[in-house]
Chain A
Amino acid sequence: MAGELVSPTPALRGSARRTAALRLLRRRLIQAVPLMLGVVIINFCLIQMAPGSFLELMTAENQVSDPATVALLRKTYGLDDPVWMQLLKYIWALLHFDFGFSYRQNMPVIQAIWIHLPATVLLMVSSIALAISIGVAAGVVASMKVRTFWDSLVSIAAMFFYAAPSFWLGIMMIVLFSVKLGWLPVGGMMKIGGNGGVLDILHHLILPTLALGLFYAAIYTRVMRSSMLEVAQLDFVRTARAKGLSRNKVTIHHVLRNALLPVVTILGVQMGTVLAGSVVIESVFSWPGVGSLLFDSVSSRNYPVVLGIMVLGSLVVIAANIAVDLIYMWLDPRIEIR
């Protein structure tokens, strides 16, 4: 944590830093294994708890009633094995990225997710970028003008966006910008019959990005503001001011960089909630991403897809947290992460 850096070790340089980073990466990857295993086991328990096996669902959907075929399918899917054997088989399959077959899309689950992935990644990246830029800018403004009109304005806005349900915000923006003003499209990713030009997609991206990103912008604003105020009281800032540097220069070169650390931490922790949030936003804006796929699968009880998304989502969160640790190390070389 940024506040606990009382006994700084000398900054690591060059190759030493690279080895330290690699060591950290290796340790984090090893720690990720039991975590991933836990996710898979929770998943497996959920499958076991589902009323009626997925086989019943599958045979019902494909109108298979011949008992011989059903028995054959039971055997193929190993449903007659003891539970622990099924679990091992499940883990083995997941290790080969085999998440099962989605009968609705008529393709393997992993492929169905893969097709929907780019749209979600685009939405997540743009929302996070928006949230960080607004959050950092607003937090810096509020902390530099602390206890003024601007500070209050920023704080009140942050409070509102922190409390507004994102789906509702999205609908209200559709009412204003699409229905009343007609500036932006109601939903979808590109014009119907369009070829998906960059401008067209960006045009469709604006509202979903705002709806998803403003909530996180509110969080980052609050964190950034208090972090800036905290760092500004540290000794090295006073030294920089005493050297005769201007207030703006100190803020940008000394305070900002250090105040960013908590924002980076939260970003890693919240990667999963951004992904989860995109489920709702994609449903509001008919954005053709993993969220829409999840929603569709949830409504049609297509468990393999739901579970596949859950496992892959957890994987994304783990990866994001590792990335955050590495960024952290780069931002503050004094930090030695356990």
Chain B
Amino acid sequence: MQRFEFVARFARNRGALVGACLILFVALMAVFASVFFPTDPLRIVGLPELWPGEDPEFPLGTDSLGRDILSMIVHGARATLLIGLFASAVATIIGVGVGATAGYFGGWVDEIAMRVAELFQTIPNLIFVLTIVVILGSTLTNIVIAIGIVSWTPIARMTRAEFLSLRDREFVQACRSMGMSDLRIIVSEILPNALPPVIVLSSLVVAGAILFESAVSFLGLGDPNVASWGRLVGDGRQLIRSSWYICAIPGIAIMITVLCLNLVGDGLNDALNPKLRDR
């Protein structure tokens, strides 16, 4: 019944609950984007620069070319969320791999792994991302990998700490005395126990990755075939004197999504460590 307790603790945190609901809403929006708006969001459908509410057909207005902003936001949700999720997945895979190896083997392996982590924390993150994207090309894959590369260090540290505290427990010693291989102990014995706090952290990494991606796209270095929210803000930038809403709306979408992810992450954290809750 531990699981129910966990859910109950999470649900008691109102902020986290609201955040989870909104995230679910954004995710559904992303999944069913082409059901609600089957046409290409980048197609011109009406008069340019219609303010939100001016024409009931376009509740959030149209941009400088006459494209439906609501449709672009809904389709952009898919791009933004996917990039965030995949980048976080890349960061989690690298981070868990490095952290688990470092924590399990200790000694010089640990020393080297932590120096490498320090190295990646030294290079200013966004500058690193921009450099990678510029040199390897602005494709979706490169952006996802670049964001993953600058975001894995906290996950590695967390995984390492968990492994350090678990590696000498009795059940691990029992496995070792049974002659289980290191790889098997790491993957099937320690990892499942170390995972919960790591997953919480990766949900926060998603929020960070979305902010990274939006900055990269805003600077015009995003994948030219993908209309993420950051790019919509960048596209609207030229028109802030006449139609600032074109810029404002996608930014609000980014802010709400990141805010909710943070709330959910905090909520999960509190539910995992009830002792820390009142901090």
- A interface with B by C-beta (< 8 Å): 34-35, 38-39, 42, 46-47, 49-51, 159-160, 162-169, 171-172, 174-175, 179, 226, 229-230, 269, 272-273, 275-277, 279-280, 283, 294-295, 298-299, 301, 303, 306-307, 309-310, 313-314, 317-318
Contacts and interface: CB of A to CB of B under 8 A. Distances in A.
Given A168-B214, A298-B131, 4 more contacts: A38-B116, A51-B136, A276-B126, A298-B221
Contacts of A269: 121
Contact of B124 (A46, A164, A172, A313): A313
A168 B130 contact: no
A165 B123 contact: no
Contacts of B124: 272-273, 275-276, 310, 313-314, 317
A272 B134 contact: no
Interface residues of B, number: 44
Given A168-B251, A168-B255, A230-B279, A280 B215 contact: yes
A63 B256 CA distance: 49
Contacts of B233: 165, 167-168, 171
Contact of A310 (B128, B241, B251, B258): B128
Interface string B111-154: 00001101101111111101110111100000000000000000
30 contacts: A35-B118, A39-B119, A46-B135, A159-B259, A160-B259, A162-B259, A165-B218, A165-B230, A165-B254, A165-B258, A168-B255, A171-B237, A171-B247, A171-B251, A172-B244, A172-B248, A175-B240, A179-B244, A273-B124, A275-B124, A276-B125, A280-B218, A294-B130, A295-B219, A298-B221, A301-B134, A309-B127, A310-B131, A317-B123, A317-B124
A299 B220 contact: yes
Contacts of A279: 126-127, 130, 219
| Most-contacted residue by chain B among A169, A273, A298, A317 (CB, 10 A) | A298
B211 interface: yes
Nearest to A297: B134
A163 B258 contact: yes
Contacts of A34: 115
Nearest to B119: A38
